Each structure stands twice: as structure tokens, then as C-alpha cells.
Amino acid sequence: MTLAVVRSLREPRAPATEEELADFELDVLAGFVLARHSAGLADSTIRGDTNHLESVRRWFERPLWEMEPRDADRYFGCVLSSVWSSTRAARAQMLVTYFEFLELRHKVELHELTGRVVECPVDEMNRPRMSVAARLRIPPTEAELEQLFTGWREELVSCRKFAPSARNNMVARLSAEVGLRINEGVHARSR
């Protein structure tokens, strides 16, 4: 087996201009939005995603594909040090998702245009920890439900005024028959 010189069969391409890169960056973001929409995400979620990306882009002042781990360290460690941990984690996750999109759809094209290999700047070393635990909704036990409705029934008997009594009765019946949540009952209004 011998070694041979490998040469590209593609025609050499002139380096992209600033204007071409700006147009390409806008096209990539539009493609990202369309991909998120076709995945079934709500418009509000996509708007939040792009807001996160625009915030990082505004700080970085260059196309995001040029971002390296040391830039992410500085951004998440210094710039976002005073924001909520959930904001840092959401922004990092959005950056990871965006780079997955870049790697899947535009890796070759970006290499041809810029000479850079796309690599996510958020790695295992600088990924913000999500300190907000997911909250599980555990349904109440039979004993807890019985205690709630017994106390409510006793309170209805001792209530002196008609309006609060009628309101409490309506919320109790809706909760028992329809499955109205407490927060929904609090915000219920008659028309």
C-alpha cells in the first residue's frame, strides 16, 4: 500500500465576502426557524429561542459559528453571572440546539465558505447546570380529598353571607364534578 496525494475534485472557491456571510447567516437563521416550526413547536417557543440566539449574537458581535469554548466560558461565566440559572441553562441549551442544526444541515457549506469546522462552544466543561428541579404533580390521596371536601362542606354551613357561600359552593362543585384545579377556581369569575 502506498500513499497518494489527495486533491479536491471541487472547483476552488474564492473566500466569501462580508456581505455573502451576512446573507448566509440570515438564511441559516431562517432555516432554523422553519425547521423548528416544522418540528411542531409553538410560535411563542420559536420566538423565545430566536431571542436567546439574538442575545448571544448581539454580545458576540460575529456570526455564532465562530464562537469557541473560551467565548462561551466568558459569556456564561461573566456576562450571565447575575441572571437566573434557568435563563443561563435555557440560553445554553438553545445554543447547543442551534449548533446541532448547523452541524446537521450546514457543516460542509460553512467549511467551504469560512474554512471553519462547526463545533458547539458549549461542551461538558462549561455547560451550565440546571438548578431548577422539574416539579411533578402528584395527585392527592383519597384521605386528603375526603379531608378537603369535608372541611369545605363544614365551612359552607358556617358561612354567614350569601355571596361567599355561593362562590365556595360553586368552586366546590366544579372541583368535584369537572376536575377544576385550585388555581382555576381562584380565578373563576361570574359574568
Q: 108-131: per-residue pLDDT in tens? A: 889 888 888 999 998 887 777 654
Banded pLDDT at 62 (limits 50, 70, 90): very high
pLDDT at position 10 is: 64
pLDDT at position 131 is: 46
Domain boundaries, the chain: 18-114, 142-186
pTM of the predicted model as reported, rounded to 2 decimal places: 0.62
Q: Which grid cell is 136?
A: 411533578
Q: 157-186: per-residue pLDDT in tens? A: 787 788 877 777 777 777 777 777 767 777
